[in-house]
């Protein structure tokens, strides 16, 4: 086993990990960023082809580097991926790609061991920046009982309509990903969108009114809808367990496209077909599960993961495991935490706590 030591390991080279690295570099602290992908930005490149951000480029820059696009345009997922890659290059962030972390465990001396195959890094601090909701798709247990002839995709696997078979489609999940995908599929397939109505934002993103809406919305999302307020704590539960509101696609857009919108849940299988909670059996050729992700942190051996799978932390600081931090979580501090406009503030807070801890330790581990 090859072993090295460094003050801080950041796990994940997405926007949260890169922003944390930026703030540590500004403060002169040694660190390394590990990521299992081949290129910075690959998590974005793997999204469906037509995905665009829901916030204008004006607000999408990470600390120190504006987003290189017309300020009122909505960047594509590939533009975001390329921006993240250029961000890492611009600030010469020490990123190691194709490096999958298999285990993170605390040591008796207060440090952490980060294991990647035959390599081990000993670190005073570790920042887990592996994604807003995790990378493990959530699928109901009964999905395996569907007729094998039905084409099933999770939203994380969906790229474009031609992945589906001819025939009707059931899209499960009414949040923004489900509505976007149902809207895209409807011209080519009879489409049913099922699941609770999560509400919708009151403006059209591409209309000029959005230029007034976004400054107000982002102010509320950063400073009012936080874990310190009753409104924020309510929204935390909604976002983490039910998904966010419809954003680009509206209810009337679904109607205009011919999407059948039902508010029932899929609760089981009958004769190989999905069944809604009102007993309706859906005779479909395809099911797209827009049902979110499960947080899977079983590779973290520190006692900081709650029964619901989410880490026990506040603003990314896990008090139960000194030196262990998180960044990029849904509602890490505020509604905006999971967005490009909001992640920089959370990353800076985590970086400041790492610096304060380093100064308090009797010795500092050198790179």
Fold of 138-200+245-289: FAD/NAD(P)-binding domain (3.50.50)
Fold of 2-134+295-360: FAD/NAD(P)-binding domain (3.50.50)
Q: Where are the domains of the chain?
A: 2-134+295-360, 138-200+245-289
What one-character DSSP code corresponds to residue 70? Answer: -
* pLDDT reported for residue 363: 56
Residue 120, C-beta contacts closer than 8 angstroms, at least 6 positions apart: 1, 2, 3, 4, 113, 114
* pLDDT reported for residue 364: 44
CA atoms within 13 A on the CB side of 327: 34
Tokens of 238: 């909604």
Per the CB < 8 A criterion, the answer to whether 170 and 262 are in contact is: no
Using CA of residue 279, residue 293, residue 155, residue 251, what is the dihedral sign?
A: positive
- H helices present in the chain, as ranges: 15-26, 42-45, 77-90, 176-185, 210-223, 230-242, 251-257, 340-360
Rounded to whole angstroms, how far apart are CA atoms 88 and 109? 32
* pLDDT reported for residue 69: 97
Reduce the DSSP state of residue 112 to 3 states and report it: strand
pTM metric for this prediction: 0.92
Instruction: Spell out the long-range contacts of 143-148 with Cβ–Cβ below 8 A and sequence spacing 24 or more.
Output: 143/287, 143/289, 145/269, 145/272, 146/269, 146/272, 146/273, 146/274, 146/287, 147/271, 147/272, 147/273
What one-character DSSP code corresponds to residue 122? Answer: E
Establish whether domains 2-134+295-360 and 138-200+245-289 are of one fold.
Answer: yes
Average pLDDT across each block of 10 residues of the chain; the chain has 367 residues. List them in order. 93 97 97 97 95 96 97 97 98 97 96 95 97 83 96 96 97 95 97 94 88 91 92 87 88 97 96 96 97 90 92 95 96 93 97 94 55
Rounded to whole angstroms, how far apart are CA atoms 22 and 88? 9
* pLDDT reported for residue 366: 44
């Amino acid at each position: 086993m090859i072993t090295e030591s460094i003050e801080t390991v950041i796990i994940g080279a997405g926007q949260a990990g890169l922003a944390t690295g930026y703030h540590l570099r500004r403060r002169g602290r040694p660190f390394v960023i590990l990521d299992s992908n081949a290129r910075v930005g690959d998590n974005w490149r793997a999204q469906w082809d037509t995905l665009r951000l829901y916030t204008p480029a004006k607000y999408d820059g990470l600390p120190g580097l504006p987003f290189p696009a017309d300020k009122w345009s909505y960047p594509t997922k590939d533009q975001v991926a390329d921006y993240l890659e250029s961000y890492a290059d611009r600030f010469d962030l020490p990123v190691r790609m194709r490096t999958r972390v298999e285990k993170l465990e605390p040591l008796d001396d207060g440090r952490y061991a980060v294991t990647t195959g035959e390599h081990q890094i000993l670190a005073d601090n570790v920042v887990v920046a592996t994604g807003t909701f995790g990378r493990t798709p959530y699928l109901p247990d009964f999905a395996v009982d569907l007729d094998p002839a039905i084409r099933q995709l999770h939203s994380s696997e969906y790229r474009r309509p031609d992945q589906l078979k001819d025939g009707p489609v059931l899209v499960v999940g009414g949040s923004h990903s489900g509505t976007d995908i149902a809207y895209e599929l409807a011209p080519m397939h009879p489409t049913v969108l099922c699941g609770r109505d999560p509400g919708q934002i009151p403006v059209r993103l591409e209309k000029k009114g959005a230029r007034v809406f976004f400054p107000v919305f982002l102010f509320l999302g950063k400073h009012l809808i936080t874990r310190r307020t009753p409104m924020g704590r309510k929204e935390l539960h909604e976002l983490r367990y039910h998904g966010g509101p419809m954003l680009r696609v509206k209810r009337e857009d679904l109607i205009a496209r011919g999407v059948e919108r039902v508010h029932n849940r899929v609760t089981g299988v009958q004769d190989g077909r999905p069944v809604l909670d009102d007993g309706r059996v859906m005779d479909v050729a395809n099911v797209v599960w827009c049902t979110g992700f499960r947080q899977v942190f079983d590779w973290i051996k520190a006692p900081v993961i709650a029964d619901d799978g989410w880490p026990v932390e506040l603003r990314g600081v896990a008090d139960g495991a000194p030196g262990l931090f998180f960044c990029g979580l849904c509602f890490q501090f505020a509604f905006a935490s999971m967005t490009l406009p909001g992640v920089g503030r959370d990353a800076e807070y985590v970086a400041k706590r790492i610096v304060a801890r380093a100064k308090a330790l009797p010795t500092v581990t050198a790179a």
